[in-house]
Amino acid sequence: MTMSKASSAAALLDWYRAMGVDEAIGNEGIDRFAAVEASKRQAQSSHPPRESKTPPPPAAPRREFASLAPDEAVMDARARAGNAKSLKELETALADFEGCPLKATAKNTCFRRGSDDARVMFIGEGPGRDEDLQGIPFVGRAGQLLDKMLAAISLTEDDVYITNIVYWRPPGNRTPTLQEVQACMPFIERQVELLDPDYLVLIGGPASQNLLGTKQGIMRLRGKWQDCEIGGKTRRALPILHPAYLLRTPAAKRQAWRDLLTLKTALEKAD
């Protein structure tokens, strides 16, 4: 059965979304087949076209994917992160790091948002489209909801430090692969060491599982204080539901509120 034009267009859009295409780069589509045919006719012409006096614009620099093997990338990350003596030095070291393939497809590095003196460090999964454009973690819809959640327990951006387990946007907002997380993990661990927060809040399943070294799902982990070993120090970590999940599942906000109250109680007892 022949597909209608509408069905064909819908299938094409579904394929684009699966490949991570989420924005247009031109106002009108380009007929590549017509361009090929025109090129063939031009080559067969007995009168070659006149050369343009205007030189073509220089080609945009091409960003290559990381050439380091996974083990080499982790070793390089450990060396760079270990040499950083401050959060600023760590950010500079990360900017020079080429061992994570995500960097080749991202527009910006998203290192952190918030205060370098924060008692609470939030660690999420990875940047999305808005974060990639601005180079700042949690500034899109999920980030705006996170800000409201923080305000509900009397916290502001000046009270927290926010980052992700990977610093570059995975294409199509997919979950980061194990290789991508492992390449970034030395920087994350050093980031925790240098900030030295009183509490870690792990946002969503991937952040919780990778930092706690567990395969348990977020629904089992959420709302319960866990021991998180980083840099030879055991830290208190609280897994919570990701704001992006709450946007898709508003009914889960009741559970998220209970988790926030758990954090609030700990902060009040420590004061």
| SS3 call for 3 | coil
pLDDT band (50, 70, 90) for residue 12: low
pLDDT tens string 57-109: 454 444 555 568 889 999 999 999 999 999 999 999 999 999 999 999 999 99
What's the whole-model pTM score?
A: 0.77
**Residue carrying the six token digits 């760079």:** 80
- What strands, in cross-sheet order, belong to the sheet with 160-164? 113-114, 160-164, 120-124, 199-203, 233-240, 226-230
14-23, 220-229, 253-262: which range is least confident on average? 14-23
State the pLDDT at residue 271: 81
Average pLDDT, the chain: 87
What number is the average pLDDT over the span 192-207? 98
pLDDT tens string 155-194: 999 999 999 999 999 999 999 999 999 999 999 999 999 9
- Residues ≥6 apart with Cβ < 8 Å to 186: 74, 77, 78, 80, 81, 82
8 Å CB contact between 230 and 193: yes
The helix (H) or strand (E) run that includes residue 240 is strand 233-240
State the pLDDT at residue 55: 55
60: buried, middle or exposed (CB in 10 Å: 19+, 13-18, 0-12)? exposed
User: What domains, with CATH codes, occur in the chain?
Assistant: 70-270 (3.40.470.10)
**Residue carrying the six token digits 């661990």:** 189
